[in-house]
């Protein structure tokens, strides 16, 4: 962190601002992140999750930064090795994971030697 940033943060904390988040700036919102553009990007991603951001840019006719902003901020998606996926699990996915873990726990309690079979391979 630069010296000027350090002094800025010191002044903020000294003045009583305890949050480290940026404050909202005044001004108009970006005209590129409209609901129509968000829908276009979402449809493009659903068509093929393995495409790159450049591919999506060409398909929907938006800039790289705009598409990246829509994916990260509006759609809450991130890139992993196989494609774009939502950051958070849905309630159904969470419930399935909880029930699966419960079944595994019950099985391991009934058969404590089971995990040793796979662990010692």
| pTM (predicted TM-score) | 0.47
pLDDT one digit per residue (tens) for the chain, 121 residues: 788 888 887 888 888 877 766 666 666 666 788 999 999 999 998 888 788 889 999 999 999 999 999 988 888 887 765 566 666 677 888 888 899 889 888 888 888 777 666 555 5
HEC-encoded secondary structure of the chain: CCHHHHHHHHHHHHCCCCCCCCCCCCCCCCCCCCHHHHHHHHHHHHHCCCCCHHHHHHHHCCCHHHHHHHHHHHCCEEEECCEEEECCCCHHHHHHHHHHHHHHHHHHHHCCCHHHHHHCC
Q: Which domains does the chain have, with CATH numbers?
A: 31-87 (1.10.10), 89-121 (no CATH)
């Amino acid at each position: 962190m630069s010296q000027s940033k350090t002094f800025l943060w010191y002044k903020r904390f000294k003045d009583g601002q305890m949050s480290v988040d940026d404050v909202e700036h005044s001004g108009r919102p970006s005209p590129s992140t409209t609901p129509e553009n968000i829908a276009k990007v979402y449809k493009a991603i659903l068509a093929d999750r393995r495409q790159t951001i450049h591919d999506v840019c060409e398909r929907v006719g938006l800039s790289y930064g705009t598409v990246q902003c829509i994916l990260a901020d509006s759609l809450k998606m991130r890139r992993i090795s196989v494609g774009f996926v939502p950051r958070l699990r849905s309630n159904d996915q969470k419930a399935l994971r909880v029930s699966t873990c419960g079944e595994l726990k019950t099985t391991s309690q009934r058969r404590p030697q089971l995990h040793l079979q796979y662990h010692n391979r």
